[in-house]
């Protein structure tokens, strides 16, 4: 009688194979999750953009010697005025229920223009455009938004923002210019003259192409944490 053969059980799959399969499943799940979140974020942005409403408010002010602009979410643009009056034009972008609140006040020749969003929301921002008469001092503060000034005839200019670039150009020699941002570039263009220059950037290039004169009565100050600084003669 032939000998009886006992069946040999199949060897289990290598552990490395099982680990590889589990790893592939995990990676696949993560990819699906990331793609899903990205698609949802894009869809939310598109939906918000489509649902935004827009209106424009324009106001004129006389007898102003200084302008103060305060914006929490939005951009600020400054241009020379054609006459002695300040013309402030505000374009509001908002979703229903999140309209930016605009307030104005004039005291002792100081005009304050303020724009506040009721809450941190994708559907609330403003575009401020201000025509600045010659000889009017300017101070601008924003939380999230760029500040852009061109051709100003102002003795004093101060711009501060948390997140956004600052660009300012001057038609006449200013007495004092201060530009400060946390995240963004700073570009200043001033007429040829001697200036006391102060710059500081934690992460970014600094270029100074103006006459740096420690004894000059005029001052240029530019600081940023993350961004480049460029000072130039225009």
The model's pLDDT over 123-167, given as tens digits with 9 standing for 90+, comes to: 899 999 999 999 999 999 999 999 999 999 999 999 999 999 999
Cα–Cα distances in Å, from 90 out to 74, 100, 174? Answer: 10, 10, 26
The string of pLDDT tens digits covering residues 48-59 is 445 789 999 999
Secondary structure of the chain in HEC code, one letter for each residue: CCCCCCCCCCCCCCHHHHHHHHHHHHHHHHHHHHHHHHHHHHHHHHHHHHHCEEEEEEEEECCCCEEEEEEEEEEEEEEECCCCCEEEEEEEEECCCCCCEEEEEEECCEEEEEEECCCCCCCEEEEEEEEECCCCEEEEEEEECCEEEEEECCCEEEEEEEECCEEEEECCCCCEEEEEEEECCEEEEECCCEEEEEEEEEECCEEEECEECCCCCCEEEEEEEECCEEEEEC
pLDDT at 234: 84
CA-CA-CA-CA torsion for 148, 153, 159, 165, nearest 10 degrees? Answer: 20
What is the predicted pLDDT for the residue at 121? 57
- Give residue 149's pLDDT: 99
- Select from 126, 123, 125 the least CA-distant residue to 52: 123
CB atoms within 10 A of CB 111: 22
Decide if pLDDT at 116 tops 70. yes
Q: Which range has the worst mean pLDDT, 43-52, 113-122, 171-180?
A: 43-52
**How far apart are the C-alpha atoms of 139 and 71, rounded to whole Å?**
11
Say if residue 39's pLDDT is above 90: no
pLDDT of 42 strictly over 60: no
15 pLDDT above the threshold of 60: no
Cα 234 to Cα 226: distance, rounded to the nearest angstrom: 25
How far is Cα 49 from Cα 121, in angstroms, rounded to an integer?
12
Query: Looking at the predicted structure, is the pLDDT value of residue 10 above 80?
Result: no
Looking at per-residue pLDDT, the higher value among 231 and 23 belongs to: 231
Most confidently modeled of 5-9, 115-119, 226-230?
226-230
Cα 62 from Cα 141, distance rounded (Å): 22
Pairing of strands 101-107, 110-116: antiparallel
- pLDDT at 14 exceeding the cut of 90: no
* Mean pLDDT calculated for residue range 68-97: 95
Work out the average pLDDT over 89-104. Answer: 92
Instruction: Kindly list the domain boundaries of the chain, sorted by start residue.
Output: 50-132, 146-234
């Amino acid at each position: 009688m032939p000998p009886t053969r006992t069946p040999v059980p199949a060897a289990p799959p290598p552990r490395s194979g099982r680990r590889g399969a589990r790893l592939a499943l995990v990676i696949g799940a993560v990819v699906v999750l990331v793609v899903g979140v990205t698609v949802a974020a894009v869809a939310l942005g598109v939906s918000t953009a489509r649902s935004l409403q827009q209106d424009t408010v324009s106001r004129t002010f006389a007898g102003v010697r200084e302008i103060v602009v305060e914006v929490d979410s939005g951009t600020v643009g400054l241009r020379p005025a054609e006459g002695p009056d300040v013309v402030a034009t505000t374009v509001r972008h908002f979703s229903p229920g999140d309209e930016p609140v605009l307030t104005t006040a004039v005291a002792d020749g100081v005009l304050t223009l303020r724009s506040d969003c009721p809450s941190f929301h994708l559907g609330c921002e403003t575009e401020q455009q201000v025509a600045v008469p010659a000889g009017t001092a300017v101070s601008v503060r924003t939380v999230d938004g760029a500040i852009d000034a061109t051709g100003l005839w102002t003795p004093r200019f101060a711009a501060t923002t948390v997140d956004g670039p600052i660009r300012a150009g001057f038609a006449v020699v200013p007495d004092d210019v201060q530009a400060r941002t946390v995240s963004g570039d700073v570009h200043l263009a001033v007429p040829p003259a001697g200036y006391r220059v102060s710059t500081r950037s934690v992460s970014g290039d600094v270029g100074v192409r103006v006459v740096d004169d420690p004894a000059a009565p005029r001052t240029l100050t530019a600081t940023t944490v993350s961004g480049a600084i460029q000072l130039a003669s225009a």
